[in-house]
Amino acid sequence: MNEGRRPVDARLVLKRATGMGAIAGLAGVYLSLVGIVERFETRNVVTGVVTLGLLTVAIAILVAAFVAPRPPRAWGMAEPSRGLKLAASVLAGAAAASVLVLFLIAVESLDLRDIFPNASSSLSRILSLGMDGPAGWAALAALCLAMGSIAGGLHALRPRDRQPLVAAMSAVLLVSLMEPFLNNVFLQLRQNALASFIYERSGLTIPAALIVFVVVLAVAAFETYRGKQARERVESLPAPTRRNAKYVTLFFVGVLLLVLPHLMGVFLSEVVGTVGLYMLMGLGLNIVVGYAGLLDLGYVAFFAVGAYATALLTSPASSLGLGLDFWIALPIVMVIAAITGIIIGAPVLRLRGDYLAIVTLGFGEIVRILLLSDALRPIFGGAQGILAIPPPEIGDLRLAGPVNLYYPILAFVVLGAFVAWTLANSRVGRAWNAMREDEEVAAATGINTTNYKLLAFAIGAVFGCVAGAFLSVKIGVVFPQRLDILVSITVLSLIILGGMGSIRGVILGAFVLVGLPELLREFAEYRLLIYGGVLVTMMLLRPEGLLPNRSRQRELHEEHDAEETQYQQRAGGDTGAPVISSP
Amino acid sequence: MTTERDDLPAGMTADEVSAAPSQATVEAANHEPLMVVRSLSKHFGGLVANREIDFDIPRNSIVSIIGPNGAGKTTFFNQLTGFFEPTSGTIVFDGLDIAGLAPNQVAKLGIGRTYQNIRLFKEMTVLANVMVGRHVRLRSQWFQALLHLPSVKREEAETTQRARELLDLVGLSRRYEDELARNLPYGDQRRLEIARALASDPKLLLLDEPTAGMNPGETAQMTQFISRLRHELGIAILLIEHDMKVVMGVSERITVLDHGERIAEGTPEQIRTDPLVIEAYLGKQATA
């Protein structure tokens, strides 16, 4: 494993760790100055023990101290010893501590509030863990050093031991952050006792935190140690049994999805409905960007066309005044969508990469400005938009309100995922992928690139327009302000977060990037900051996304296996087991 | 939307195009060459890359184009495959003038190619690469795929089957079929490129320096493989090569280009002794 690499240069490793610790400290300063620390402090993670504000700083230090001791691959250096790794982690913690303590002293002794309104005494109280003067500085320094030591301790563990531990800690944080959601569900189910056992003042209670930690630790440990055998045993079951098991699982998932809005209540159904619209858009843009490789930054144009087309066709108050039924209007909207996709796609057929991105960005803005313009006010209603869009009806049932609208949105997301999945695994999907990889060769292989590009644009547009149609009936009005560039950016971000070309990724990405900010009001203010941070982190650490599609996932596994092999090799000497060098 | 029938030249039906070259048609048309190129020229502004080139490819033959660097070989290739539109001249392939057709139309008519610097779909699996190569012979449209029609399933199963056969033919192990193309060793990438080109059932296979970057052992293997292809599949092969040994070993006829012009044409024996060729390759002193 280590042959061909130069020996460990301890000085270099420690120097890098110091730098990274200092950067983490500066990140903490930044989080404090933009107000995140103070704002998040109102949220408990484990009530009475940990609050979210200080935790954001602590996590930044923990991550930096964990990453710090591992030399970047480009250095071609052998893996440092555990002792050196621990030293580097602690050093990173110390570097962060010195930066943060200096900052704390500055906040306490100088009045920075003219420049940084958030550098208040309440901030210093949070950072000093509620203590005064030097005691507070010491407390902050101790916290940073503790984070460094924990990171170093994590390095001493084998990856398979470390992962369950990290999973369990993350799970506690996640369950705690889900408080507004889960608490609401429990109350909806009239499980008040359960709710107050698990949550207390917006955070987990101590016993609940312990239970979550232990359960997730056990499950994750089972998965890493026995997961392979368990999977193999499942695979060795006869095919009919496995198929039945699959159907039973699908059945339960289906039932859960159907009763979900009644469990969640109005507010959460509203949130999930919005997430569903972004899933639809994500699935559509994923076809254009992920499969066909056409970077479209103006996807909001289709969302807008769908919303306005639906409004014009169904609202009696619109300039057309048709007042069509939603279900009659929807197919018309889809046809309009496909035509719009081709109209926008045709002029950009010859453009690639950056140029395509810029031109589509322009198209998105053009659509918004046209809708807003005075010249077209008689048709689109200018800034006021179009009002009084009636909800869809099925027979006598009016699908008004978030709980009822959840169902058609769910149906279209399922349908959309099915369409995307089918196309991806067909001749069409292969042609798209080939075009993404090398357009010239794809053409020489016989793929009509013009047609396939237009097909991708048209199908992507239909997805976007259906999402737009549901937006218009969901809020009952459409106006241009809601249809700005941020929608395009959000949809693209959720695809990147989930993994380009991955359907599961789109679904997860929509929940994380659209659902979480709605639930966590504290985050809403910093939504764009967090988007940016998430995207940069993803590009650095996991460019293939959280749930990559199969082929990319394999590459990831190879790296993981390499690390495991390395540990096995070290252990090999003790057990006398044959040492297999990795290929 | 993707009805590629619109792309066909007038007078051709889709059936005529997609029918694999059966032995009968090959025999019947044996008297005329598969490809006839007449006075083909390509100018880039003032630069003449190809000047008035005449060139024939008989059916079921292996012919080669050689020439020093910058002689215009690849430009010539690119015109045959539709990447460049000729400035003047005709390219008749199997009775049709294909000069100026788009690359995908040329591919559909039965010309497959490989590239000097390997150009696989790197992030796709080995099997998917070959299946993409089969694209022009498939008919299922996107809406048919969405309906999960039995015909689509059958076609997909046949395509997978055919792709595996081709992997066997070029000697790529089945073990590799789910591997990403970019993870294959160099030699196997070359083989995969050939399998992809063959997947479209071409009547003519264009190989652009198939032995570039190979050691003598691999080169000999590849040379053997090329002549085997011709015998087993009954197709014509056009080679561009630098390596004289490869060309002399397998070709029936060789055309030599220099400075964009054809300076010689003949059997390997004739080319070996042609003073113009020796001059082009080795300089004037060699002939003196």
Query: Quick check: A554 pLDDT over 50?
Result: no
The two tokens of residue B241 are: 């090569």
Asked if residue A579 belongs to a domain, the reply is no
Report the candidate in A134, A57, A40, A42 with the shortest Cα–Cα distance to residue A93. Answer: A57
Ranking A77-81, A100-104, B100-104 by mean pLDDT, the lowest is: A77-81
The residue extents of the domains of chain B are 24-110+202-288, 122-200
Sign of torsion over alpha carbons A230, A235, A240, A243: positive
Phi, psi of B158 (to 5 degrees): -65, -40
Q: How much is the pLDDT for B5? A: 40
Nearest to A285 by CA among A493, A514, A533: A493
Beta bridge partners of B93: B35, B96
Pairing of strands A393-394, A397-398: antiparallel
Residue A67 forms part of a structural domain: yes
Chain A residues whose beta carbon lies within 8 Å of the beta carbon of residue B155: 427
Q: Out of A441, A446, A552, whose CB is closest to B136?
A: A446
**What is the per-residue pLDDT for A559?**
45
Report pLDDT digits (tens) over A478-525: 999 888 898 999 999 999 999 888 999 999 999 988 888 887 777 778
Spatial contact of A338 and A377, defined as CB atoms under 8 Å apart:
no
Residues 6 or more apart in contact with residue B24 via CB below 8 angstroms: none
CA angle A534, A539, A543 (to 5 degrees): 115
Burial zone of B244 (CB within 10 Å; 0-12 exposed, 13-18 middle, 19+ buried)? middle
Place of tokens 């498939």: B138
Q: What is the mean pLDDT of residues A45-65?
A: 89
Tell if the CB–CB gap between A423 and B145 is shorter than 8 Å: yes
Query: How many Å lie between the alpha carbon of A451 and the closest alpha carbon of chain B?
Result: 6
Distance CA A486, CA B25 (A): 60
Q: In angstroms, rounded to a whole number, what is the distance separating the alpha carbons of residues A555 and A230?
A: 23
* Residue A88 domain flag: yes
Chain B residue numbers with beta carbons less than 8 Å from the beta carbon of A443 are 102-104, 107
The closest alpha carbon to A473, from A412, A519, A544, belongs to A412
A293, A149: one domain: no
Q: How many CA atoms lie within 13 A of A361 on its CB side?
A: 10
Q: What total of structural domains would you count in chain A?
A: 2
Cβ neighbors of A438 (< 8 A, separation 6 or more) are: B119, B121
What does the alpha-carbon distance between residue A260 and residue A245 come to, in Å, rounded to a whole number?
A: 22
For the cut 70, the answer to whether the pLDDT of residue B287 exceeds it is no
Q: A304: closest CA among A277, A269, A271? A: A277
Backbone angles phi, psi at B65, to 5 degrees: -120, 125
Give chain B's length.
288
User: Would you call B17 exposed, middle or buried from its count of C-beta atoms within 10 A (0-12, 13-18, 19+)?
Assistant: buried
Q: Count chain A–chain B contacts defined by CB atoms under 8 A.
A: 106
Nearest-angstrom CA–CA distance, A18 and A96:
8
Domain B24-110+202-288, architecture per CATH: 3-Layer(aba) Sandwich (3.40)
The Cα–Cα gap between A541 and A539 comes to 6
Which residue, chain included where needed, has tokens 């280590």? A2
Hey, how many other C-beta atoms are within 10 angstroms of the C-beta on A233?
10
Phi/psi zone of residue A392: left (φ > 0), alpha (ψ -120 to 50 degrees), beta? Answer: beta
In the prediction, which pLDDT does B46 show? 87
Tens-place pLDDT, residues A217-269: 999 888 888 877 877 887 787 888 888 888 999 999 999 989 888 888 888 88
- Tell which residue, B42, B71, B41, has the closest CA to residue B54: B41
Chain A residues in contact with B119 (beta carbon < 8 A): 438, 440-441
| Residue A79: DSSP 8-state | P
- The pLDDT score that the predictor gives to residue A52 is 87
Domain boundary residue among A441, A458, A487?
A487
Containing A44, the helix (H) or strand (E) segment is strand A44-46
Partner residue opposite B1 with nearest CB, options A434, A445, A451:
A451
Nearest to B145 among A422, A445, A448 (CB): A422
Would you state the pLDDT for residue B284? 60
Res B11 pLDDT > 60: no
- Does the pLDDT value for residue A560 go beyond 80? no
Please give, one letter per residue, the 3-state secondary structure of A112-164.
CCCCCCCCCHHHHHHHCCCCCHHHHHHHHHHHHHHHHHHHHHHHHCCHHHHHH
Per-residue model confidence (pLDDT) at position A105: 92
Q: Helix, strand or coil for residue A48? A: coil
Cα diameter, chain A: 83
pLDDT (0 to 100) of residue B30 = 58
Q: Do B104 and A447 make contact, defined as CB atoms within 8 angstroms?
A: yes
**What is the DSSP secondary-structure string of chain B?**
---GGGGSPTT--HHHHHS---HHHHHHTTTS-SEEEEEEEEEETTEEEEEEEEEEE-TT-EEEEE-STTSSHHHHHHHHTTSS--SEEEEEETTEE-TT--HHHHHHHTEEE--SS----TTSBHHHHHHHHTGGG----HHHHHTT-HHHHHHHHHHHHHHHHHHHHTT--GGGTTSBGGGS-HHHHHHHHHHHHHTT--SEEEEESTTTT--HHHHHHHHHHHHHHHHHH--EEEEE-S-HHHHHHH-SEEEEEETTEEEEEE-HHHHHH-HHHHHHHH-HHHH-
Contact A428 B2 (CB under 8 A): yes
Average pLDDT over residues A558-581: 41
Provide, as residue numbers in chain A, all residues whose Cβ is less than 8 Å from the Cβ of B136: 445-447
Q: How many CB atoms lie within 10 A of CB B79?
A: 27
Record: contact B2-A434, CB cut-off 8 A: no
Which of A127, A156, A185 is the C-terminal boundary of a domain? A156
pLDDT-derived band at A319 (thresholds 50, 70, 90) equals confident
Q: What is the pLDDT of residue A570?
A: 42
Q: What is the pLDDT of residue B8?
A: 40
Residue A128 is encoded by which pair of tokens? 């000093």
pLDDT at B54: 92
- For residue A31, give its domain range: 1-156
Nearest-Cα distance to chain A for B144, in Å, is 10
Residues 6 or more apart whose Cβ sits within 8 Å of residue B133 = A445, B112, B163, B195, B196, B197, B198, B199, B200
Q: Chain A contacts of B120, Cβ < 8 Å?
A: 437
Same domain, A308 and A452: yes
Q: For residue A529, how many other CB atoms are within 10 A of its CB?
A: 14
Question: Is A372 a domain residue?
Answer: yes
Domain end (from A438, A459, A487): A487
Question: Would you say residue B186 has pLDDT above 60?
Answer: yes
Q: Inter-chain contact B135–A438, Cβ cutoff 8 Å?
A: no
Residues of B engaging A, defined by a Cβ cutoff of 8 Å: 1-2, 4, 7, 81-83, 102-104, 106-108, 113, 115, 119-125, 128, 131-133, 135-136, 138, 140-142, 145-146, 148, 152, 155-156, 159, 180, 196, 200
Read off the tokens for A446: 């016989």
For residue A466, give the nearest of A278, A325, A195, A323 by alpha carbon.
A278
| Dihedral angle, C-alpha A187, A403, A494, A499, nearest 10 ° | 90
Beta strands B47-57 and B62-66, pairing class? unpaired
**What integer pLDDT is reported at residue B285 of this predicted model?**
57
Minimum distance, in Å, between the CA of residue A393 and any CA atom of chain B: 27
